[in-house]
Structure 1
Amino acid sequence: SPNEDLSKYPRDINRDENLLVLEGVDYLFYPTPEEIYPGHFQTYVVQERISTILEGEFRPTHFRGVTTVVAILFNIVLPDRSYFGRKDAQQCAVLNRMVQDLRFPLEMKVCPIVREKDGLAMSSRNVYLDHVERGEALVLSRSLNYINESIEAGERDAEAICQAARKMFIDVRSASLDYLTIVAFDDFEPVEKLESGKEYFALVACRIGKTRLIDNLLVKV
């Protein structure tokens, strides 16, 4: 996306290789950018709607890059199954729509969020947080837990729940909230009233210092 320096994104290929060995992985495909985007690359895959809201508003062209590179990888590897983490819930929805619309012959698996013992969602970006910011970053998971508790207590007004949860960020020194909202599970449309028997995503994106973090919680009413 504009104003994002991909070269500064945390990468540790040796650590990744060691983790894959421990899991019994047989092959690692680790192409260079030049192998994926040879010559004068000019063709992109664009998902039209889900990719334009929330993360799409704050990170223009981000999902275009995601769908394009994943489509390329699918065509190269020809997998039977692909696995993605639910922490990037909107990304999973965008890719699932792409897989369905473009008839990729594979099964897409979404893996649960993995959290630290104190509730912080695991992310490669967490290494950028200093000691104080690391503690303040817990406001993301606390706000999601508050939303879940409010729903369990019987509250059904989505915006009222979110307004109360947003107040939790006011006194966090390093926090700058991008959004905190509740959306429909399947199409990420905003909702006003929560209906019994349905599933929703509570989503939050926030900068803690200079580090932008996202988190979410799948809630069932």
Structure 2
Amino acid sequence: MAEAEFARPIVTVDIVLLTLHEGKLCVALLQRPAEPFAGVPALIGGYVHTDEDPDAEAVARRILRSKAGLEGIFFEQLRTFASARRDPRDWSVSIAYFALVPRGALEGSASLLELRPVEAAGKLPFDHNEIVDAALERLRGKGAYSTIPARLLPAVFTMSELQAVYETVMGERLDPSAFRRKINDLDLLEVVEGEKRQTERARRPTTLYRLKTPIAVFDRRL
């Protein structure tokens, strides 16, 4: 059989879109509009458009923009999931990404997206549970030595909010004094001059911070 006669596999991009909701790390799901699994919540995804998408990253950007109304957020390629069994229609390839977004950025698409805790996402179609598990493992692995978890926060945040994000992502409690000392030693943040925020727990207005660089990597665990 000539090479041109071989059937081409289905090629899609699927995105594990993660955010914080009610104190939990959640994955954003979207109901599938067509079979297979019509009406079932699934990862945000779509087909590769070979006539307009120059590469897989462009596919991910287009899907995030068109299906979740998101632009300019952090996302990273996870891995490729490919087999003859993952899609009942045919041999299928999915280039998977994970993305992080502050909860407030989802307000415009909140009516379309369903947020479920990553560790209680339920039975998802295709191999989407496996993709979610891989994204959580990647985030927790990189969260131990980078500022990637901070992308779940708005651009400006308090030290307590930053610590809470790391605790949620890593699934463990962190000593506040040790956390603050480590963050200061690593020189990852800068104070937002002229701005403070009054919080319920603090007697005085709280100092606000932002990251010095979009993503920073360090050598030691927090």
TM-score when normalising by structure 1:
0.25
* More strand per residue: 2
Which one has the largest radius of gyration? 2
TM-score when normalising by structure 2:
0.25
* More helix per residue: 1
Question: Of the two structures, which has the highest relative contact order with CA contacts closer than 8 Å and spacing of 6 or more?
Answer: 2
